Amino acid sequence: MVATKMEKPAADLLTSPGVSSLFKSLKLKTKQQELLIRVAILCLVYVLAFITRLFSVLRYESMIHEFDPYFNYRVTQYLTRNGFYEFWNWFDSESWYPLGRIVGGTLYPGLMVTAAFIYWTLRFLSFAVHIREVCVLTAPFFASNTTIVAYFFGKELWDSGAGLVAAVLIAICPGYISRSVAGSYDNEGVAIFALLLTFYLFVKAVNTGSLAWALASAFGYFYMVSAWGGYVFIINLIPLYVIVLLIRFVGFQHVQSGEHMAAMGVFFLMQLPPIVAYMKAGIGRREWLLPVQINLLSGFLVVSLFASLPCLLKNFSEVSHSVINMPSISTLVQVFYFLDWVKFLLNDPKKFHTFLRITVTSAVALGAIALGVGTASGFISPWTGRFYSLLDPTYAKDHIPIIASVSEHQPTAWSSFMFDFHILLFLFPAGLYFCFKRLSDATIFIVMYGLTSMYFAGVMVRLILVATPAVCLISAIAVSATIKNLTQLVRAKSKPAPVGSGKGTTSTKAPSKGYYGKVLAGFILVWSQKLVSEFSAKPLKLDLENGFNGLLTSPFVGKINTKQVNEDRSISEKNENTSINMDNKGSLDQSPPFQKNGAIALLFGAFFLLSRYVIHCTWVTSEAYSSPSIVLAARGAHGNRVIFDDYREAYFWLRQNTPPDAKVMSWWDYGYQITAMGNRTVIVDNNTWNNTHIATVGRAMSSYEDEAYEIMRSLDVDYVLVVFGGVTGYSSDDINKFLWMVRIGGGVFPVIKEPDYLVNGEYRVDKGAAPKMLNCLMYKLSYYRFGELTTEYGKPPGYDRARGVEIGNKDIKLEHLEEAFTTSNWIRKMIHRGSIHRSGLGMAARKTTGDTTQEAFDFKQLLNQDGWSNLLQFALHYNCNATTNFCGVLL
Amino acid sequence: MLCLLKRFFLLFQIENIGNAPASEVLLAFSPTQFDHLALVKAASVVGKKKKKSYVPLEVNPTERPVAPNGTKYYAISLLKALEKGEVATLEIFYSLTHTLEPFPVEISQSESQLVYYHDSAIILSPYHIQQQATLFKTPSNKVESFTRVEPTDRAGTELKYGPYEGRSPFSYSPVIIHFENNNPFAVVEELEREIEVSHWGSVQVTEHYKLAHAGARHKGVFSRVEYQSRPSASGVSSFKHLVAELPPRVHSVYYRDNIGNISSSRLRTNSKKSELLIEPRYPLFGGWKATFVIGYGVPLQDFLFESATGARYLNYSFGCPLANTVVDKLTIKVVLPEGSKNPSAQVPFTVEQSFETKYSYLDVIGRTVVVLEKRNVVPEHNIPFQVHYNFNPVFMLAEPLMLASVFFLFFITCLAYLHIDVSIRK
């Protein structure tokens, strides 16, 4: 009754002539409607990208995660407290004792300056936020911004539909979320934004030929350089791209090159200051660098100067390669022009060839000599290990244990790809296919970006991150193009479907482009066909049952279709088609009713796949990537949540109850956290710049107690912190990392030999362990008084739950050290068989004040334990990087 | 018995033996006692046995010319002057902080804590004492030693000195009692309470604690195995949790420190009061410290009232919500809403007052902050104090209006941008 009463006046209102005319005038035009929908979707995606990253804040608290972010947080605090100039000149004496670290000169300040800028802006607008909140939310905020950039990039590459899909895909892609959840306050958080922005602006510049976009791109690049070491990817990719374009244009179509080169020019000029800087650094005078630069490169190069400033801060060995790389390729570009010009002058092919031979030979010879002399004199420093390991994944394993020991530097497993990309992994080749079908400057770029970054992602787990935007964009093209075709089929009904998709800008260049497309696409097709048959059985089966071959227009199936058609028909005939729609129409005219049904079915298939993607992403984010790794949660016996907070317990104890000038020795993983949370000086930390120093710590840990004591005395160590998981079964504790300490220590000090700690090549801690192992410092500290403890029912005392053995040395006496503090939790009764826990054992040494003649050290012990949830174990099982990260230095 | 806090009940029967009527009675304290004096209260006892009632009296510190060894005085004003020969009964209560001195100064994990207590068997007084007896109560039976000033008698936890008769003014007879005291010596070295009043319906309280274990310092090894397997014999003087009493209807309670949330806390609420059981990150042994923050919100109508004159006043409890602790230095900051005028604080005891300005969310002119400071705060100080101020409710709308106008301007700009063509070339 009530409802009808309510409806009537409303209906009256609408039907009355005056109102309806008003309603009509307010009604939006189709274009406006489209704009409204687009803006609404973008806004929703923007919000979605932000809130999906807040799992950790809701589930735990607003806190900084992992290892590196703690350093960044500490630096940001310093920056906001002391201002920019103090920060620039900051010499941090709290790390790398007694060496210290020039922080202002050895980090990428982009992230910290960004966060501080946001903080200051908010403060200026009188929002009384804490700097921690800003730091925690920086990464989600930039992830949201990345979605907007992805939209514009997708629009530039394909059309606005692809842009929207790209924005959605990247907003929730686990590969990106892994490094940008709230609290993950790391360089990558802003760097991916900067990377994508730079690429977008660059592509925009290439497409428009506008200097303004090129300049904007330069600024984007400047920001990227200031934020992350991954910028080397940009400066190597862009020249590569230019070469490809050059080959295309010089080789086939002479005409357009000049226009494109204008965009490049800005980019190349930007590289000049780094070269100058590099040369200056070679001379060894950094102080007068800036004024000289300003004098040398006035005017336009002011921009370049900005871009170079961050480079100046880096250690030059890393920059040098990229710097050398860059101009060499840019000169190559010049050489092309030069050759062209000479060819024009000489007018005779024979003469030209002679000229070419002589110049090339002499240039190669000169280059070789220069390189030889440069390397010998040390002017060109050798490549760093991480670069080698990028080209040869096995390099680090054999030569640099400190790189190999970091889990995120491991080669990527297939499961990681599946975990981080899900359906994008299959959409990626499909998208590549579409890109090749409509080859333009922009799509060439994204294809190159995708392929190179995919290679790097395969080499190192952490570089999945760099590949993520490309994968999302290319997949978005696949999704968008497919759905567009399908919906056109659905809507077409009896009238002929509209030809082509939106922009037909590239059709004029089609013939030459199509050829490359075919070659590569054929390559990918074989692979994707296999993938399709394996993974997306459902839509395929559906189609086969319906029995119409030609209508396979799903993202995967579409390729099979074209492949078959390719085999049948001549290549040139097919090249003209820019959309699958055309193919289908050609071959499927005979069965129009099925065509529509099939399209609907495939639409549902696509919808199903995409919704699976959303579910997967949410699940991964919630279960695997939102754990702070400082605090661990587990389920108790009654399903209640148990929090294990032993890390912070130990750090806070250090902070409150040790002398302010105490020096703490621990393995480098915990260095940043100790300085940030414990506020105490550490010997080594996660900025692994000095291998010898780390090796010294490794040596101390793997020596006998009295030898270790001498080393510790020489390093002024007061406390030793050890993480131990034997009580609760946490597997990534110091005993399990111990072999790396031995290896790294042994790499510098040959006294330490790995075989001494192994029995028949086997690493054991029980009775059968090597005698040196049973008596080294790490073993003694970890298992001190552990022999008295019953950890599990029905097991003998001293049963190590992390390794599942009874320890070999139960009667440990410490001569020079004493237990200072051990964290709680492990004896709580809520530990039951099902849940896995971990514990840590820390040691600390303290100077006794009584006897002044003999400096005695009492070492103390910390028992540190944490729970380790089943969920995280699952994540580990999937070999996902975020939970096992020990973030080393940046690339 | 409390950590470092001694409470005293004195029962006086005074008789005016002078000629002039006496309107004041002097209480004498030694300078060290005076520094640690947290609270003095006096009441006169009226009526006999069953009809006995107490009338509180005013107590104020005063200066007197006769002050041997720097004796400090408090003057108790009597209700009516005492005529010659008249007798009155007074009850005086005072508490001293930091009077127990741990000895030995450092103990290991397995030892229990012993403390010294210094006092006088005969009370310091400017008057002639006819008869006096002193009674000390120790927390346990374990008394290592005590000074004998005959007659002295010890029974269980009680130690009785006296009765002594006919002592002259300012006589002093020092006694030292050495006894076991394993009570938690929790001392809040500094406490800053910020009470932020919002007329939108909430009072937000933030309390910054600097907690320390002021007992005998921990020496040598801390063994977790010992501590957890033999709780009765290991670390008996340490403590691992404290109870904070919060107002009823408390909401959004948090407990954290510099490096994040501390997950070990429990809140129990009922209609009378809320109890927050907090556990620092680690057990506190002698000399160990912990800093943390407790924050909570309470409904405005429970604490903010309107006086007859139209002014508002906040009525909130002074002192530290942690049960059984001593606060060395307490700072209370009452942050009044932006635009409030004529703030003034009324505290039932002497405190230092000052004003400052604080800028919080969307503040333009800043909020007036009434700062109250006091040293040596004990649980007896948990009595209400008032802050009066005038506030025009129109100011409540300032911030929403500001936000609204910003958004309005933003939309207008968007509109303008979409409709105006600013490009140079056509």
Q: Encode pLDDT of A71-108 as tens digits.
A: 999 999 999 999 888 888 888 888 888 888 888 777 88
Q: Do B67 and B141 fall within a single domain?
A: no
Low-confidence winner among A23-32, A409-418, A595-604, B234-243 (lowest mean pLDDT): A23-32
Q: How far is CA A552 from CA A426, A474, A568, A581, in A?
A: 16, 20, 16, 10
Name which of A69-73, A868-872, B22-26, B212-216 the model is least confident about. A868-872
Quote the mean pLDDT of chain B.
Answer: 85
- The rounded mean pLDDT for chain A is 70
| Inter-chain CB proximity A657 and B288 less than 8 Å | yes
Q: What is residue B18's predicted lDDT score, i.e. its pLDDT?
A: 67
Higher per-residue confidence, A166 vs B425: A166
Contact B221 A649 (CB under 8 A): no
Same domain, B132 and B80: no
Q: Answer with the one of B141, B163, B180 that is the final residue of a domain.
A: B180
Tens of pLDDT, residue by residue over A761-783, are: 888 888 888 888 888 888 888 88
Q: Are B29 and B40 in contact (CB under 8 A)?
A: no
> Domain tally for chain B?
3
Pick from B220, B224, B262: which is nearest to A818 by CB?
Answer: B220
| pLDDT number for residue A564 | 40
Q: Which of residues 8-67 of A touch B (CB under 8 A)?
A: 60-61, 63
The CA-atom distances, in angstroms, between A37 and each of A154, A722, B391, B411 are: 17, 56, 47, 18
Q: What CA–CA distances, in Å, run from B355 to A312, A853, B240, B329, B333?
A: 49, 54, 37, 18, 9
CATH number at residue B209: 2.60.40.1730
Residue A133 contacts B where some CB pair is shorter than 8 Å = no
- Quote the pLDDT of residue A347: 67
> Whole-angstrom Cα distance, residue A508 to residue A438?
11
- Report d(CA B360, CA B358) in Å as an integer: 6
Is B108 within a domain?
no
Q: Which amino acid is it at A763? A: Y
- The number of beta carbons lying within 10 Å of the beta carbon of residue A578 is 21
Q: How far apart are CA A114 and CA A140, in angstroms?
A: 13
Nearest to B221 among A818, A823, A863 (CB): A818
Q: Report which DSSP code applies to B30.
A: -
Instruction: Kindly state the tokens that stand for A466.
Output: 């760099």
> Sorting pLDDT into bands at 50, 70 and 90, what band is A867?
very low
Assigned domain for B411 exists: no
CA distance A217 to chain B (A): 22
- Label residue A535 by pLDDT band (50, 70, 90): very low
Q: Which helix (H) or strand (E) holds A314?
A: none
Residues of chain B in contact with residue A135, where contact means CB-CB under 8 angstroms, are none
pLDDT at A666 over 50: yes
Query: Looking at the structure, do residues B250 and B394 belong to the same domain, yes or no?
Result: yes
Q: What token pair was written down for A493?
A: 């009904």
Q: The domain spanning residue B35 has which CATH number?
A: 2.60.40
Please state, in angstroms and rounded to a whole number, the distance separating the CA atoms of residues A373 and A352.
Answer: 31
| Same-domain check for residues B22 and B171 | no
Dihedrals phi, psi of A837, to nearest 5 degrees: -125, 175
Lowest mean pLDDT among A594-603, A786-795, B381-390: A786-795
Tokens of A887: 């973030």
What is the pTM assigned to this prediction? 0.78
Q: Please give the C-alpha separations between residue B130 and each of A557, B57, B86, B163, in angstroms, as whole numbers.
A: 111, 24, 15, 10
Phi, psi at residue A326, to the nearest 5°? -60, -60
Chain A hits for B291, CB-CB cut-off 8 Å, are 656
Rounded (5°) CA angle A398-A401-A406: 120
Chain A positions touching B281 (Cβ under 8 A) are 645, 648-649, 652-653
Cβ pair A126:B361 closer than 8 A: yes
Of the pLDDT bands very low, low, confident and very high (cuts 50, 70, 90), residue B21 is confident
Asked if B93 and B18 sit in the same domain, the reply is: yes
A648–B contact, CB cutoff 8 A: yes
Tell me the one-letter amino acid at A11: A
Among residues of chain A, what percentage have pLDDT more than 70?
A: 63
Q: Is residue B285 domain-resident?
A: yes
Mean pLDDT value of segment B289-318: 91
Task: State how far the Cα of A70 lies from the Cα of A676, in Å rounded to an integer.
Answer: 6
State which residues form the domain around B390. 186-400
Which of B97, B132, B149 terminates a domain? The answer is: B97
Domain boundary among B97, B131, B152: B97
Same structural domain for residues B275 and B134? no
Helix (H), strand (E) at residue A740: helix A734-748
Q: Considering CB atoms only, which of A128, A649, A819 is closest to B360?
A: A128
Note whether B388 and B341 are within 8 A (CB).
no
B336 within domain boundaries = yes
Same-domain status, B64 and B37: yes
Rounded to whole angstroms, the Cα distance separating A169 from A427 reads 11
> Would B406 be classed as within a structural domain?
no
Three-state SS for A236-302 is HHHHHHHHHHHHHHHHCCCCCHHHHHHHHHHHHHHCHHHHHHHHHHHHCCCCCHHHHHHHHCCCCHH
Domain identity same for B219 and B329: yes
Say yes or no to pLDDT of B347 above 70. Answer: yes
Answer whether A656 touches B (CB < 8 Å): yes
Task: Look at A115-119, A137-141, A189-193, B108-112 and tell me which has the smallest mean pLDDT.
Answer: B108-112
Is A648 in contact with B260 (Cβ distance < 8 A)?
yes
Distance CA B261, CA B283 (A): 17
Examine the domain organization and report whether B195 and B152 are in the same domain: no
Measured distance CA(A189)–CA(A179) in Å, rounded: 6
Interface contact A126-B220, CB threshold 8 A = no
Q: Kindly state the average pLDDT of the residues B222-242.
A: 81
Shared domain for B123 and B80, answered yes or no, is no
Scan for tokens 């009940």, then name that residue. B9
In a domain, B219, yes or no: yes
pLDDT category of residue A384 using cuts at 50, 70 and 90: low
Q: Residue B198: in which H helix or E strand, if any?
A: strand B186-198
The pLDDT value given to residue A142: 95
Which whole number is the average pLDDT over A604-627? Answer: 90
Average pLDDT over residues A349-371: 77
Taking contacts as CB-CB distances below 8 angstroms, the residues of chain A near B221 are 818-820, 860-861
Residues B275 and B351 sit within 8 Å (Cβ to Cβ): no
Considering only A91-105, A120-134, B282-296, which range has the smallest mean pLDDT?
A91-105
- Please report which residue ranges of B148-244 form alpha helices under DSSP H: 224-229
User: Per residue in B33-47, pLDDT tens?
Assistant: 888 888 888 888 777
- Looking at beta carbons, which residues of chain B come within 8 Å of A820? 221-222
| B351 close to A (CB below 8 A) | no
Same domain for B325 and B245: yes
| pLDDT of A42 higher than 90 | yes
Q: Which amino acid is at A609?
A: L
CA of A643, closest CA in chain B: separation in Å?
7
Whether residues B142 and B249 fall in one domain: no
From CA A457, how far away is CA A467, in angstroms rounded?
Answer: 6
Whether A663 contacts A716, CB under 8 Å: yes
Of A863, A676, A674, the C-alpha closest to A684 is A674
Q: Report, as an integer, the average pLDDT of A699-723.
A: 86
Identify whether B153 is part of a domain: yes
| Whether A643 and B263 lie within 8 Å, measured CB to CB | yes
To the nearest whole angstrom, how far is the Cα of A822 from the nearest Cα of chain B?
A: 6
Note the pLDDT of residue A756: 87
Residue B294's pLDDT is 93
Tell me if residue A741 falls in helix, strand or coil.
Answer: helix
Assigned token pair, A121: 């802006």
Is residue A517 pLDDT above 70, yes or no? no
Average pLDDT estimate for A339-346? 65
A824 to chain B: which residues are within 8 Å by CB? Answer: 224, 228, 282
Tokens of A535: 């993974």
The Cβ of residue A302 has, within 10 Å, a number of other Cβ atoms equal to 11
Query: Would you say residue B102 lies in a domain?
Result: no
Nearest CB to A656: which of B223, B260, B291?
B291
Is A819 within 8 Å of B222 when comparing Cβ atoms? yes
